[in-house]
Structure 1
Amino acid sequence: MENKSTSLPFFRSWLSKSKQHFNSIPVLIWLNAITIVILSLLSIYAKLKSKGAGIDNLFSDPFYFGIFYLGWLTSVSEFMWCTAIAISLFTAVLLPPANRRFQIFLCASALLMLLLYIDDRFRLTLILCAFFGTCKLVKLSVYLLYGLLLITYGRGFRRTISRTPYIPLLVSFCLFGFSSAIDIAPISSRGIHAMLEDGTKLIGLINLTIYFWWICQQEIKKNIEQKL
């Protein structure tokens, strides 16, 4: 009885504190709820349609297929995407309203990188190829759209970009364009094709991530020095 009497107040205290913490971050409540609903719907679908193996594939690790290094460099590329996006968004939120122009630049950069990352991670272009059948035409159309977005982005924020060491950003854009061109080029060797397409994209992502890390660091330092 004593254990129950001591554990019950502890549980109530923990529950109250948990509620308080989650209420202080409302987005977590929604994200948890949405994720649970989606996973529940997938589970029901898998049960009704006998698609358990398909659900298992969604959570399978690359090592499951017997090649321990499968997708290593792709994972590094995805890590670089996420790092650049996270740094940009975090800095945009952290900066004061006086830096509104730079905040807009960082948010626009993060949204553009997020679009490219989602396509790269979930293979949206390849899904469109499967739907329309003409893969080369679909890829060319998508890459032209991304090219127009990058040009619009560069023109819209040229003044902000010109105040930064922008050459790494320009190099990353050029490497992304080269990678896209190699993707639709008729290269028969898988190794050469992968190195030219994915290798150049990885180098571009390194430049992109370090660029945003550096300019965000400098902007935060400048604001701290102004306050001091």
Structure 2
Amino acid sequence: MIRLEIYGIVVLAFAIALFLALVSFDGQDVLPAARGRGAGTHNLVGPLGAQVANLFLDALGGGAFVLTFAFGYFGLSYLIGRRARVTKLDVVGWLGALLSGAVLCHVIFSPGHLLDHPPGGETGAMVGEISASLLSNAGTFIVFLAMFVVSVIAITRRSIFELFHLVKRGSMRPVRMMQRIMNHGDLEEADGDGEEALDADADAGA
């Protein structure tokens, strides 16, 4: 159990570091001039984080963020003791999510750029262009969106209806929280008005 917790902490720390390196990536940090002048980098994880983020963005583009969720998922699973090993279904599911995520980023955002890289990286561009030549962009989007959904089902072991309800429930929580805050404010305002009215009546009676 302790060993699993250690694995979980290490993997989760790597996932957080990778996420920070990706979101703070600046192409200037990986230029030869930047490495040579010894100045500080824009990257939150330093020069090494910039280089690692550059490799993942080159390969996967936006799909690199799926990789951070994969590491985070396994790290949390190990940390709370839910899983002692990685199954073949986990591997297939995450590989499918990585590939489909990269291709979807390419289809949706190309010819734009994401963090100074192609939106789907080299992988998304290659697979996406081959698929588009056979299925068109619309067909590619449909196929790889379906692949992404199937991959999520394989990873979570939940049906599409369960996932829909989980997403719906999660999206409704902020709305309910705001409603409670607003209702609480209305009640406080009503109590204040009531107290003012009582004070006014007391003054009139006096």
Q: Same fold (TM over 0.5)?
A: no
Q: Which has the larger radius of gyration?
A: 2
- TM-score, with structure 2 as normaliser: 0.28
TM-score (norm 1): 0.26
